[in-house]
Structure 1
Amino acid sequence: MDEKILKSLDSSEKEDFQKGLKFLIEQTFVVENAYNQLIKNHTELMQTMNEIIEVLPMALWVLDTNKKITLQNNLANQQPKLLEKIDLEKTHYELEFDHKFYLIKVTSHADKLIVSATDISDEKRNERLASMGTVAAHLAHEIRNPIGSISLLSSTLFERSELKNKHIVLEIQKAISRVERIVNSTLLFTKGVHVNLNEFNLKELQDECEQAIGAYNYLANIDFTFEFLDLKINADKSLLALVLQNLLYNAIDAIEESENDDGCIKVKCEQKEDRVVIKVYDNGVSIKDKKMVFEAFKTTKLKGNGLGLSLSKQIIDAHNGVLGFDENPKCFFIELKI
């Protein structure tokens, strides 16, 4: 303030002026503190909002009027090309992209567009499996009766056949057994797996494996090695034998698809503290689509129906175990609690 004006003020006016100036300074500090608190609250709010959108089970984008991204979560960041495929004119629809299904929602708020994409691939898969399972179960029931009759007739034919023709009937019976396995696996898959736990020795599974191999048609020269532990476990023996049967058949098929003159399949057991691991090794062709290996009705084999590994996983899951796959060396493994 001009010094002349200050000198022109009497003492009371100067006192009032000083009080007013002091009040103004105090209010300035109040406003500044309020502003700083507002900035802090805004920052905390943005952090909270970012944390919220990060835990959302969907990809989320916020776009401005120019369709530029102003905010996105990590799931959206992992799918940079997904947003390009979304029709922003539609508010609610399903989109198939990169072998997955997404539920797309587009809403507007003020001058922003909020776009979300929820992965519904599992729901779609379950719907498809339920539909396919219903059809498969119906077909399995329809097939079971005539197969039973054919099996009885083949037994009669075997007894009446000359010795030189008996091997033909045996091949017919093996083919019938294969159809019966498919029917039983299909019904088990559609009805759901229920385990009946009993104590038995792991060595008993070797006989089951050898019988399964004897009932399977294959032409390759394969050397089988079994190393079962003399160990008792509490599990469903028949279902566990079915899993090993499926793994052995997959191994045989993999060898037949390979160019190996001498196939090798090895079943080995290992004990790891309170768990046992059963591994099935083979030197056949590698698995092409590892992501779909346990997917039901997915197969590239001429012999397969796409249920073996999926059903096997259901069985091991019902035992609270683990069914997995290793590449080097190639093997499937079963891990169970003793």
Structure 2
Amino acid sequence: MVGVEALSSEQLYRAINHFRTLHEKIVREWLDHALIKKEDPFYEEVVKNGNRTLDLLYKYIEKPDISLITDLTKKIAPERIEAKTDISEFVYNINIGRQIVNDKALNSIFPPVEMKWIIMTINHFFDQLLYYAIKEFSSLNDVIIENKNQFIQEMHSDRLTILGQIAASFAHEFRNPLTSIKGFIYLLESELVPNEKTDHYISIINDEMENLQDKISQFLLLSKMKGLDDLIAIFDLSICLHEMIDFMYPRFLEAKINLMAEISPDLKVEGDKNQLKQVILNILNNAVEELCDLPEERIIKVKAYRSSEKIRLEISNNGSQIPAHLLENIFEPFITTKELGTGLGLSVCKQIVEKHNGQILVESNASYTTFSISIPEAIERTSL
């Protein structure tokens, strides 16, 4: 030990022999005070480990060797994890062992110089045992958590893949008859004698058919595959934003919403303009619906700018805070904050943004809920 003169062979033998004579008593006291139940599946191993720990202590007193300790901790840690022992209990039990061994040393008749060396050696041994035990315990727990997370991610990925396949199959099965129905409605409309009542019914049918068509398109987007009809081009997102704001302006007026827009010019991105318009429209629509019942001032903020080779879009509203349990999974299919919503809108938004190599996030607090979108800035290709 640092600062303490080493003991002679005779003194070491006397110290080791002292603890050997108390070996069984130390183990019994430890089992009486440690947080270990007899129902523990490894109880017999725990008793053996207590004996092994004391045997190691004797060897450590004679000649300190860390490898002896690490070998023991590699055995103990997996057993304690399998027995679902909390790490606090794990630490407590080791320290109880330290306390009992120290008590046996202090109640001995060792001379002061020997006593100091023995106590320091005991504490150094248990310090090392505690350090390597926690290190091994934590390392194994990290592996278990990582494996569980990987399993959850794989299950989640498989579920979304299956959902996408079902959605695509469902959408295609409905799209063909829907096209036929729309065609026959058009024929009926052209053959019927126009009157106010008939025109009203035809108008309702057409509106509902359009709604159904939109839902089918949303299901198709859940398949995660780039569609054959995607129109990929470089375009200015700032222009799209202004167009969507103009389109939504009557709704803003009707709902008495104060719109605050801060949109930088020339925000070039590459992708399908109509799909990204759908994302913007969906988020703005959700914001309007959320604010309609708000008694105080209703605010929607739209901010778009360039940062770190990304085009960033933030759409905020001062509606109710989204509950934490919904916020965590809000982009998952069929998760919705609306009483009559399908829960497809935001999952489709996420799908579209990710198809454009982008990212969509949401933050919600008592003041504002903000959807943040980032998409790589497009580089204009110059022809040679």
Q: C-alpha distance in 2, partners of 1:264/1:171?
A: 32
Would you say 1:240 and 2:280 are equivalent positions? no
Q: C-alpha distance in 2, partners of 1:230/1:180?
A: 34
Relative contact order, CA 8 A, sep 6+: which one is greater? 2
Structure richer in helix, relative to its length: 2
Match of 1:277 in 2: 312
In the TM superposition, what whole-angstrom CA distance separates every residue of 1:237-285 from its partner, at most 9, and x where no partner exists?
23322221221232233234x3447744343212334322211122333
Match of 2:210 in 1: 177
| Residue identity in the other structure for 2:338 | K
Contact persistence 2:310–2:375 (CA under 8 A):
yes
In the TM superposition, what whole-angstrom CA distance separates every residue of 1:102-156 from its partner, at most 9, and x where no partner exists?
99xxxxxxxxxxxx98353333333433444343333222322343344446667
Q: C-alpha distance in 1, partners of 2:304/2:67?
A: 60
The alpha-carbon deviation at position 230 of structure 1 amounts to 1.8
Aligned mate of 1:142, from 173, 177, 197: 173
Would you say 1:61 and 2:97 are equivalent positions? no
| Residue identity in the other structure for 1:329 | Y
Contact persistence 2:262–2:302 (CA under 8 A):
yes
**TM-score for the superposition, normalised by structure 1:** 0.59
Q: C-alpha distance in 1, partners of 2:295/2:201?
A: 27
The structure-2 alpha-carbon separation of the partners of 1:233 and 1:69, relative to structure 1 and needing over 3 Å to count, comes to: same
Structure richer in strand, relative to its length: 1
The alignment yields a C-alpha RMSD, in angstroms, of: 4.7
SS at the partner of 1:118? Answer: helix
Q: C-alpha distance in 1, partners of 2:84/2:376?
A: 55
The structure-2 alpha-carbon separation of the partners of 1:298 and 1:165, relative to structure 1 and needing over 3 Å to count, comes to: same
The structure-2 alpha-carbon separation of the partners of 1:337 and 1:117, relative to structure 1 and needing over 3 Å to count, comes to: closer
Structure 1 residues not aligned, in runs of 5+: 1-23, 54-59, 79-101, 104-115
In the TM superposition, what whole-angstrom CA distance separates every residue of 1:172-207 from its partner, at most 9, and x where no partner exists?
444332221211121121252467653211233136
Runs of 4+ with deviation above 6 angstroms: 31-34, 46-50, 75-78, 156-160
Q: C-alpha distance in 2, partners of 1:261/1:64?
A: 52
- The residue correspondences of 1:229-308 to structure 2 (distance < 5 A) are 229-236=264-271, 237-256=273-292, 258-260=293-295, 263-288=298-323, 289-308=326-345
| Residue identity in the other structure for 2:235 | F
Q: C-alpha distance in 2, partners of 1:310/1:76?
A: 36
Would you say 1:129 and 2:130 are equivalent positions? no
Match of 1:95 in 2: none
The structure-2 alpha-carbon separation of the partners of 1:171 and 1:279, relative to structure 1 and needing over 3 Å to count, comes to: farther
In the TM superposition, what whole-angstrom CA distance separates every residue of 1:210-258 from its partner, at most 9, and x where no partner exists?
5874999xx85545555443214132123322221221232233234x3
Q: C-alpha distance in 2, partners of 1:262/1:211?
A: 21
Aligned mate of 2:67, from 15, 20, 41: 41
Q: C-alpha distance in 2, partners of 1:164/1:260?
A: 38
Contact persistence 1:199–1:235 (CA under 8 A):
yes
Match of 2:374 in 1: 335
The structure-2 alpha-carbon separation of the partners of 1:137 and 1:153, relative to structure 1 and needing over 3 Å to count, comes to: same
Q: C-alpha distance in 1, partners of 2:187/2:287?
A: 33
**TM-score for the superposition, normalised by structure 2:** 0.53
SS at the partner of 2:264? Answer: coil
- The residue correspondences of 1:56-205 to structure 2 (distance < 5 A) are 61-63=81-83, 70=90, 73-74=137-138, 118-119=148-149, 120-152=151-183, 161=194, 170=203, 172-193=205-226, 197-205=232-240
The structure-2 alpha-carbon separation of the partners of 1:140 and 1:33, relative to structure 1 and needing over 3 Å to count, comes to: closer
